[in-house]
Structure 1
Amino acid sequence: MYKKILLCFDGSREGRLALREGARLAQITGAAVILLAVVETGAGSALAHAADVGALAQQQTDFKEILDEGYRRLSGMGLSPEVHMEFGDPVAKITQVANAIGADLVVIGHHQQGFWTRWMSRSVAAGLGDTLGCSLLLAQKVVEDSELFHND
């Protein structure tokens, strides 16, 4: 069913749920797992970019730790994830990586948004639904340890 699953992980509670649900699907289907974190960068001027170099370096360090956590979690579940970090717009980067690796499924966490937030800015899930050439799972299911850590 799935041969390559792209797991998008940001270290949040929702991201951890998505990681577990995507990991379980990979266990069931025998799919390869690619773990991705996207460091969102603004599209400001060169001057604004130079001022944000320190902040970007800190974000990169934070996301490296998040990816390390995701890698440890997936390895503990018997998977061998390939790890990627990208910089830029999450929708564009997730779509780019999904296309480049030939993903059959992209798994992201569902972040609750209020009416005004949803109205003011487009959600990543909505953007991905319009741009991906593969299936998208907006993960919300709680996957128990008993489902992840057992012999099939």
Structure 2
Amino acid sequence: MYTKILLCYDGSREGRLALREGARLAQITGARVILLAVVETGAGNALAQGADVGALAIQQADFGGILDEGHQRLSAMGLAPEVRMEFGDPVAKIASVATETGADLVVVGHHRQGLWTRWMSRSVAAGLADALGCSLLLAQKVVEDSDLFRDG
């Protein structure tokens, strides 16, 4: 069913749920896994960081650690992910990597937002639904260790 799954990972609780659910789908389907973290570099993000020149380097190091953690988790589940870090707008970068790699499924965590936040900014998931040429999974299911680490 799926041959390449793009797992978008940010280290959050929601990201960990997405990682586990996407990993389980990869196990079931035998799909290749691409693990992606996107460091947002938009103008709003720069303002939020106080336009600190070193902030991007710190954020890059943080996401490097997050990707290492994700890689270790996936390897422990018997998967051999390709690991990528991209910089820019999350929707644009995820869509670009999905196209470039030929992903047929993109898995992202669902970050719940209040009405005000949803009204003020468009969610990444909504942007991806419009931008992707493949399936999108907003992961929310809790996948138990017994499902991930069993034989077969």
Kindly provide the CA deviation profile for residues 89-143 of structure 1, in whole angstroms up to 9, marking residues without a partner as x.
Answer: 0000000000000000000000010000000000000000000000000000000
C-alpha separation between the residues in 2 aligned to 1:145 and 1:36? 22
C-alpha separation between the residues in 2 aligned to 1:114 and 1:89? 22
Which residue identity does 2:115 align to in structure 1? Answer: F
Which residue identity does 1:25 align to in structure 2? Answer: L
Give the equivalent residue in structure 2 for 1:126. 126
TM-score (norm 2): 0.95
1:71 aligns with 2:96: no
Kindly provide the CA deviation profile for residues 20-57 of structure 1, in whole angstroms up to 9, marking residues without a partner as x.
Answer: 0000000000000000000001237xxxx9x4320000
In structure 2, stretches of 5+ residues that fail to align are none
Give the equivalent residue in structure 2 for 1:92. 92
Secondary structure of 1:53's counterpart equals: coil
Deviation of the 1:19 alpha carbon: 0.1
Give the equivalent residue in structure 2 for 1:81. 81
Give the equivalent residue in structure 2 for 1:14. 14
- How many pairs are equivalent? 150
Kindly provide the CA deviation profile for residues 74-102 of structure 1, in whole angstroms up to 9, marking residues without a partner as x.
Answer: 00000000000000000000000000000
In structure 1, stretches of 5+ residues that fail to align are none
C-alpha separation between the residues in 2 aligned to 1:42 and 1:16? 24
Give the equivalent residue in structure 1 for 2:138. 138
Give the 4+ runs in structure 1 shifted more than 3 A. none
Which residue identity does 2:112 align to in structure 1? Answer: Q
C-alpha separation between the residues in 2 aligned to 1:13 and 1:4? 23
Which residue identity does 1:108 align to in structure 2? Answer: V
Secondary structure of 1:78's counterpart equals: coil
C-alpha separation between the residues in 2 aligned to 1:116 and 1:24? 34
TM-score (norm 1): 0.95
Secondary structure of 1:83's counterpart equals: strand
Give the equivalent residue in structure 1 for 2:38. 38
Give the equivalent residue in structure 2 for 1:59. 59
C-alpha separation between the residues in 2 aligned to 1:131 and 1:52? 31
Deviation of the 1:69 alpha carbon: 0.1
